[in-house]
Amino acid sequence: MINVTNQQLSATGDYFWNNFVFTGGFQREWSDFLNLFRAGSYGLVAFRNLNDFLADTNAVITRNYVDPAVRPLADISEFATTGVFGQAKWNVSDRLNLNFGVRFEFAEAGLKPALNQAFLTATGFRNDGSLDGVKTFSPRLGFNYALDEKRTTQLRGGVGHFLGRSPWVFFSNSFGNTGVGSFSRSSTDTVSPLSPSFAAYMATFDPASPIGTGTDNPTLRREVDFNDDGIKLPSVWRANLAIDRKLPFLDSTVTAEYVHSKVDTGLRTTNENLRPLTGTAGLALDGRARFAGTAGTQANALYPAYTNMYRVSNANVGKSDYFSVTWDRPMKDNWSFNLAYTRGRATEAQANGQTTAGGQFNRNVVFNQNTIEEGTADFEVKDRIQLSLSRQFEIIKKYKSTVSLYYEGRTGSPYSYVFGGDPNGDGVTFNDAVVIPTGPTDSRFDFSGMTSAQQTAFFAFLDTSGLSKYAGQAFVPKNTFVEPWVNRLDLNFKQDIPIRGSAKLQVFFDFINLGTFISKKTFGYTEVAPFGPNDVFRTRTLTGTTTYNATGQLRPTYTTDPTGFNIDNLQSRWRIQVGAKIIF
């Protein structure tokens, strides 16, 4: 169970003086979180085969427990932010106005994760860091200038600092994984194991109280999640410049706009319990840092008393540049349209698209783990064409009907090529950025794991895929490649039915992916990279298991070309939805 209570309060006032308009106010938002989600509380049961299942024997049963004597059953946290803002709009003339503004934001987190003193003593890291007391100052400046008296052509733009939000899970993980009071028991344990019988396990399971409780053993190794103290919410610096031109036909306007964004504070997750290999083994011949292996194994961990230590910190890496051209006609004489083309590029240090600390760390393509590497953003859309057409009419007098068509054609999502296995030893498989050899004699590589025919097929694929152009470079940056182009056509119909006064009932009909219904040849299917959990971290695996030999050379294997694209069944389907709402 997860319960969130959110409250917001705001007040704004304007003061007019000569050709100035002064605006000021405040906004306060506060949220209370109760998280009773306990993965594995019901237990996980596995049998080797059907016969074992039928005989209820040799079951492997694992269950997660909480010790209520040393930690609460539920994770309770809170967050609040107060923003105070002021703005002055100066109408310099009939053709020019300027906007100056500033916003001050103050973050509060009255509850902090319980400090694990043993963890602090062993590692030097505090696990009770929060964003409490963090202050953000955001200045902004904008202008609008008409190039002629009739305001046929207008130039507008601005620059400013903007504070965002982040899913609270990035901060609440540190409440649930303090390294105290949560533990697992299994039927394979050597000390006090669970019964290997599913029937016996169910006989002791209480469905009215499904969260397992027991006495904690403080010597157990476990995961700790923590945030840097004073961590900041995501924020960006953003600037835009645009020109609008009213056209003498179709009552339409053409707009060209450029938007540049620079990350001021972003979030990233690292694993501070990876133990680097020492000596010459620590740095492979291709320049990749190497580690001892998964921190889940005690001998591999930098701090043996713990497993994974996931740390959330800030990084100021990432930017985007987008240019768009739009031709727009607002609704007039019962019809409207909008046609737009956008081209751009976006980079980041790490995409924040997962739901757990481990998922966030594991699902990132890296060359050198735990370092900041800027690459193409997971959510970049390089090219996009959008067209919408709307027509209003009255099937029944005074009963307005609206039909709209929406088309989108866009570049596919970016994806990366990765090596199979875990060559860098960080305990994560299929996340290591590929390095492309200059040829069979590249000194960074050991091709003894391939036959002559496999080598020929491997280098042929490098040529046909476009990977060969990165031969000799340090590595292929993440998200260098894109999935196939996507076409989509949707239909929307809305019917207004007057009820009384200003109240009306609006019935709507949506035909999503109408284009696929009309012609699979024209609109096709949405094709995606074969691996892409949570719609981010999209990859194709270039090689089989890839390791380093004793001298630090990459030793890839290759039995077949990488898997091609899969069809996204949900995005490729046509579907219809019908609904209604009352509008006052």
Over the stretch 165-215, which tens digit does the pLDDT of each residue have?
888 888 889 999 999 999 888 998 888 888 899 999 999 888 888 888 989
pLDDT at 17: 96
Percent of the chain whose pLDDT exceeds 90: 79
Q: Of 141, 140, 77, 76, which Cα lies nearest the Cα of 105? A: 140
Instruction: Say which DSSP state 298 is in.
Output: G
For residue 207, the model assigns a pLDDT of: 87
Residues of the chain with pLDDT under 70: 533-535
Task: Give me the pLDDT at residue 524, please.
Answer: 79
Structure confidence at residue 570 (pLDDT) = 84
Question: DSSP 3-state assignment of 533?
Answer: helix
Query: What per-residue confidence (pLDDT) applies to 534?
Result: 67
The residue extents of the domains of the chain are 234-583
First to last CA, the chain: 35
Rounded Cα distance, 214 and 8, in Å: 40
pTM for the model stands at: 0.91
Q: Write the pLDDT tens digit of every residue in 339-361.
A: 999 999 999 999 887 778 888 89
Using CA atoms, how far apart are residues 265 and 311, in angstroms rounded to an integer? Answer: 16
Match 């505090």 to its residue by tokens. Answer: 126
* Residue 570 burial (CB count, 10 A): 8
The residues near 128 (Cβ < 8 Å, ≥ 6 apart) are 112, 113, 114, 115, 174, 226, 229
**Cα–Cα distance, 421 to 400 (Å, whole number):** 60
- What's the pLDDT score for residue 525? 83
